Amino acid sequence: MSKRVKIGMISFAHPHAYTYLQALERMADVEIAGVTDDSLERREELAGKFGLSVFRHHSDLLQEDLDAVVVCSENVRHAELTIEAARCGKHVLCEKPLGISIEEMQNMIAECTMAGVKLMTAFPNRYVPAVVEARQLVQGGQIGEVLAIKGTNKGAMPGSWFIRKELSGGGAMLDHSVHVMDLMHWMLQSEVEEVYAENGTLLHRLDIDDAGMVHVKFANGVIAVVDTSWSRAKSFPYARDLSMEITGTLGSITVDDTKEVNQLYRDKASKAVWSFWGADRNFRMVRDFVEAVRDGTPVPITGEDGFKAASVALAAFESVRTRRPVKPFYHN
């Protein structure tokens, strides 16, 4: 029988935490040993609705007999929680973006390395079947030499702590650019050499950016652009989109994550209902993390991967500030 992996969950501030919890509950070889959250209301829900062992403070949870933790706090707390978990000998799956500054992400990676624990960044879009096939086609040379990529990751305005810079570290440009930038790094196996970006608050009455375009140049010559806006209306039946148009010298590939749905339209409904039927990317990502912890193998999406994607987003903010192209900070 496989070793039973004991997992703790730190913070349910990010809604993805509930998705990851559901994934863990489906795994016979996983024991959810405890959860913690700053919110009394959420703690009561986790204890009552889900029947979980709830700890008031994350430090108490980290003293338990755990193999690993999943961190889904506000972005500004990722570093402190990851570092404390590492010092307690726990492997970490951290929600994206990995961090909100270069220094803290470097510290997260260094502390996990020194403690001998794994650090994995939550990028579930690597598990979208269309993305996986597109990568295989690109790396197999099926469209020749890649010249350009146009990507989108547009969503609805999330509200809550996401629109408070002191908790999120940035608006739409940080929130949504990291997913697509990770996929571009992963597909091209090349690093970004230059970033130029524009952003603004165009769609909502906020004190943080809700729209942005990030332009990048890769070391291998590929140019790319990503639309990272919170431009989806509330009535849109899908939380966000994920699309890529990859142009090469011998052809092109179009990836559209919103196609893996059944669409139901009724006069009685206020909007269309889309039922997603594609592969469960979140389950597969969490499954890979659990297996790496259980088997002592490398995680497939590292802290360095998260660092690179967030580094480009931070460079984009610097480009907006200076109105000039800048190098990603992972070159420094």
Alpha-helix residue ranges (DSSP H) falling in the chain: 16-25, 40-48, 58-62, 78-87, 102-115, 129-139, 165-168, 172-188, 281-295, 303-322
* 101: CATH: 3.40.50.720
Separation CA 173–CA 208 (nearest Å): 10
Supply the pLDDT for residue 224.
98
| DSSP string of 58-99, one letter each residue | HHHHHTSS-SEEEE-S-GGGHHHHHHHHHHTT-EEEEPSSS-
pLDDT at 262 over 70: no
Residues 90 and 143 in one domain: no
Residues 214 and 237 in one domain: yes
Supply the pLDDT for residue 180.
96
Peptide bond just before 15 cis, omega within 30 deg: no
Confidence class of residue 3 from pLDDT cuts 50, 70 and 90? confident
| DSSP string of 140-169, one letter each residue | TTTT-SEEEEEEE--B----GGGG-HHHHS
Residues 120 and 228 in one domain: no
Alpha-helix residue ranges (DSSP H) falling in 151-254: 165-168, 172-188
Residues 84 and 142 in one domain: no
The residue-averaged pLDDT of 142-162 equals 95
Residues 87 and 211 in one domain: no
pLDDT at 272 over 90: no
**pTM confidence score:** 0.93
The residue-averaged pLDDT of 225-242 equals 85
- Number of domains the chain is built from: 2
Percent pLDDT > 70 in the chain is 94
* Contact (Cβ atoms closer than 8 angstroms) between residue 62 and residue 69: yes
Which residue in the block uniquely carries the two structure tokens 């959860």? 35
Cα Rg of the chain (Å, integer): 20
Separation CA 98–CA 44 (nearest Å): 28
Residues 290 and 173 in one domain: no
Residues 145 and 200 in one domain: yes
Closest CA to 312 of 296, 332, 294, 293: 332
> Which one is predicted more confidently, 330 or 101?
101
pLDDT at 1 over 50: no
* Residues counted in the chain: 332
Give pLDDT tens digits for 11-69.
999 999 999 999 999 999 999 999 999 999 999 999 998 899 999 999 999 999 999 99
Supply the pLDDT for residue 222.
98
CB neighbour list of residue 214: distance below 8 Å, 6 or more residues apart: 173, 177, 181, 195, 196, 197, 225, 226, 228, 312, 313, 316
Separation CA 48–CA 136 (nearest Å): 45
Give pLDDT tens digits for 91-128.
999 999 999 999 999 999 999 999 999 999 999 999 99
pLDDT at 238 over 80: no
Residues 194 and 148 in one domain: yes
Residues 242 and 327 in one domain: yes
pLDDT at 198 over 60: yes
Supply the pLDDT for residue 172.
96
The residue-averaged pLDDT of 134-149 equals 95
- Within a 10 A sphere around the Cβ of 161, how many other Cβ atoms? 16
Residues 269 and 171 in one domain: yes
Give me the domain span that covers residue 57. Answer: 5-124+282-301
Closest CA to 168 of 331, 33, 317, 283: 317
pLDDT at 257 over 80: yes
Separation CA 148–CA 260 (nearest Å): 25
* Sheet-wide strand order for 211-218: 192-200, 211-218, 223-227, 146-152, 243-248, 252-256
Per-residue burial over 32-62, b = 16 or more CB atoms within 10 Å of its CB, e = otherwise:
bbbbbbbeeebbebbeeeeebebbeebeebb
Percent pLDDT > 90 in the chain is 84
Per-chain mean pLDDT for the chain: 93
Supply the pLDDT for residue 270.
65
**Could you tell me the sign of the dihedral formed by the alpha carbons of 153, 157, 159, 165, in that order?**
positive
Give pLDDT tens digits for 274-309.
666 677 899 999 999 999 999 999 999 999 999 999
**Could you tell me the sign of the dihedral formed by the alpha carbons of 85, 87, 90, 93, in that order?**
positive
The residue-averaged pLDDT of 165-185 equals 96
* 155: CATH: 3.30.360.10
Residues 164 and 213 in one domain: yes
Residues 102 and 32 in one domain: yes
